[in-house]
Structure 1
Amino acid sequence: MDRYKEIEAFVQVMEHGSLASAALHAGITPVMMGRRIDALEKRLGTQLMHRSTRRLVLTEQGATFLDECRGLLAQWASAEAAVSSQHHSASGHLVVSAPAAFGRMHVAPHASAFLKANPQVRISFNLTDRVVDLVRDGYDMALRIGNVIDPNFVAIKLATNQRVVCGTPAYFRKHGKPKTLEDLKSHNCLAFNLQGGQQRGWYFLQDGKTVTVRAEGNLDCNDGELLHRWVSEGLGLGWRSTWEIQLQLQRGELVTVLDEFALPEYDILAVYPQQRHLPAKVRFFIDHLKKIYARPGYWLRDTP
């Protein structure tokens, strides 16, 4: 059996916490993953981990060997990247995280063109509004929108975004338009939550300071696309990103209010851990998205 695959399997199992999770990430069966670990321990003549149905625990020898294996894999990746960066093609498994709605609308639809130009690449997407740990969870890169970036990461600007309060013309004809932030209390504000009904605030700029207004309404959820649909149906006001609603604004299907209180634009970023040699698969995919987002009128076209 390939020694590299054995070492890679050992590192993946410890990073993902189980044979099943590591196997899913690697695209193989848990049985195959277990066989690679067994072959590695047999070849070394020592037990690297204690396995049970609930958890994996490294032995003393396993803990020492794990650090060495991580170093070897990092050196191997750097060597491959140094060579591949000299060519105009990429290869390998690219693992990407992106916010759920943004990923569905503006990342995943562009994968087919990228794969056509780079047939030796395989891409796995994880679309979630949770901020993932790139290193611990084994991601090559992530798309982030206006988040604070860890100083150990590199962030590449892809485009800009702004948050605005919006609603349908029909909603405003029936309920009127808010003129001040205080007026939001008398409107049905459709809120985003991530903690079982605990509503998040909407942020604005007032008198040079960032202020928070609690969004109160009869609907809230943890799915941005569902909130967008509710706003588009005229059920209430939403605090939405311009990347999501630009086309509707141009068509007059949605109208913004309180623009004078909107926070300044912020960046849509591609983020990856700092490393000596950036793999071509990451660099090429970032360049691919950057070129697409820079096309005139891109944000005003229909979602692919």
Structure 2
Amino acid sequence: MDVINDMTVFVEVATAGGMTAAGRNLNLSAAVVSKRIANLEERLDVRLFNRTTRRLSLTDEGSGYFTRCKSILEDILDAEAALSGLAGNVKGTLRITAPSSFGRKHISRLIPEFLKQYPDVSIQVSLTDQIVDMIQAGFDLAIRTGELQDSSLIARKLSPARRVVCASREYLSKAGIPEHPSDLLQHNCLVLGYPGGVHDHWHFKGAEGHIDVKVKGNLETNNGEILRDATKAGIGIAIKSTWDIADELKAGELIPILREFELPGAAVYVLYPNREHLPAKTRSFIEFLESKFGREPYWDKGISLKDI
């Protein structure tokens, strides 16, 4: 019983989305691949794929088995590489998920450099503002910004994600400058909204302790770029991360306000499965990101953070 080979065939079929494509990648006929999958399902006494005339899709049981098999096969490759002195030979397909705005603004510019440094690595990137189950979806790592939810994943902090309350000069000259968080009740506040709720409760910490303000305004969006552009256009006040508006702060297009009041802490994180031995491709990308970000990320250079 060649369990490892069966796992390899199964993972390739699930990844390629079909018997024929998997056979082509493995130099096997579609008939041989189909027979191997049928034998595997019989041995496990479970159906791994839903089959139609057009496509294959994993069953719930198959999805869980795929995650485990993929992890096991990567551990085997890492173990062999370490024993043969090839641990530095970083290769394979790295699957990444990241927030849309942060991914376009910061991850996008770094990927070409990483690929030049590690030419044997292939990268698949999915940008989404939805919190996906990265293990279920087959991602090797996830980039997250802001405050983390409870998770069984390992979270490594890459850099701080400083946030400011800000508005344009046009808006402030017209509506006045808030001096206390409670003054925001008289202003047009632009907020993030997601299926899980609207971020219309803004939390501050000042000399008198914690201050919570339920703000309101005429724009709610799940996209940070829309929020940034509306704020620049003088529509209202928003809370924005410096990784998104560093250029606007340096140019004076956006003005930080309420600077003596502290906002909740946030950071940029990389998340990955709780595994004892990370694949070399994953470890190398995490170390690459750490070298690019750090305690004072490049986007914060030139901003007087003590005034923010």
Decide: shared fold, TM above 0.5: yes
Alpha-carbon distance in structure 2 between the residues aligned to 1:203 and 1:44: 54
**Does structure 1 residue 237 correspond to structure 2 residue 237?**
yes
Kindly tell me: are residues 205 and 72 of structure 1, through their superposed partners in 2, closer, same or farther at Cα, counting changes over 3 Å?
same
Say what the alpha-carbon RMSD is for the aligned residues.
3.4
SS in 2 for 1:156: strand
Deviation string for 1:11-47 (max 9, x for gaps)?
x4xxxxxxxxxxxxx3556864695873334445837
Aligned to 1:15: none
**Partners of 1:197 and 1:221 within 8 A in 2:** no
Alpha-carbon distance in structure 2 between the residues aligned to 1:66 and 1:287: 29
* Offset, 1:241: 0.7
Alpha-carbon distance in structure 2 between the residues aligned to 1:209 and 1:295: 27
Deviation string for 1:160-205 (max 9, x for gaps)?
1122110111211111101111211111111111139955322222
Aligned to 2:291: 291
Kindly tell me: are residues 27 and 242 of structure 1, through their superposed partners in 2, closer, same or farther at Cα, counting changes over 3 Å?
farther
User: Which letter does structure 1 place at the counterpart of 2:185?
Assistant: K
Aligned to 2:11: 8
Alpha-carbon distance in structure 1 between the residues aligned to 2:295 and 2:204: 30
In structure 2, runs of 5+ residues without a counterpart are: 24-29, 303-308
Kindly tell me: are residues 42 and 294 of structure 1, through their superposed partners in 2, closer, same or farther at Cα, counting changes over 3 Å?
closer
Aligned to 1:272: 272
Identity %: 31
* Offset, 1:276: 1.8
The equivalences for 1:132-281 within 5 A come to 132-148=132-148, 150=150, 152-195=152-195, 198=198, 200-206=200-206, 209-281=209-281
Aligned to 1:99: 99
Alpha-carbon distance in structure 2 between the residues aligned to 1:183 and 1:264: 19
**Partners of 1:163 and 1:262 within 8 A in 2:** no
User: Which letter does structure 2 place at the counterpart of 1:284?
Assistant: S
**Partners of 2:158 and 2:293 within 8 A in 1:** yes
* Offset, 1:146: 3.3
**Partners of 2:95 and 2:141 within 8 A in 1:** yes
SS in 2 for 1:261: coil
* Offset, 1:209: 5.0
User: Which range is displaced more, 81-90 or 66-75?
Assistant: 66-75
Say how many residue pairs are matched: 282
Alpha-carbon distance in structure 1 between the residues aligned to 2:107 and 2:288: 10
* Offset, 1:158: 1.1
User: Which letter does structure 1 place at the counterpart of 2:11?
Assistant: E
Kindly tell me: are residues 197 and 135 of structure 1, through their superposed partners in 2, closer, same or farther at Cα, counting changes over 3 Å?
closer
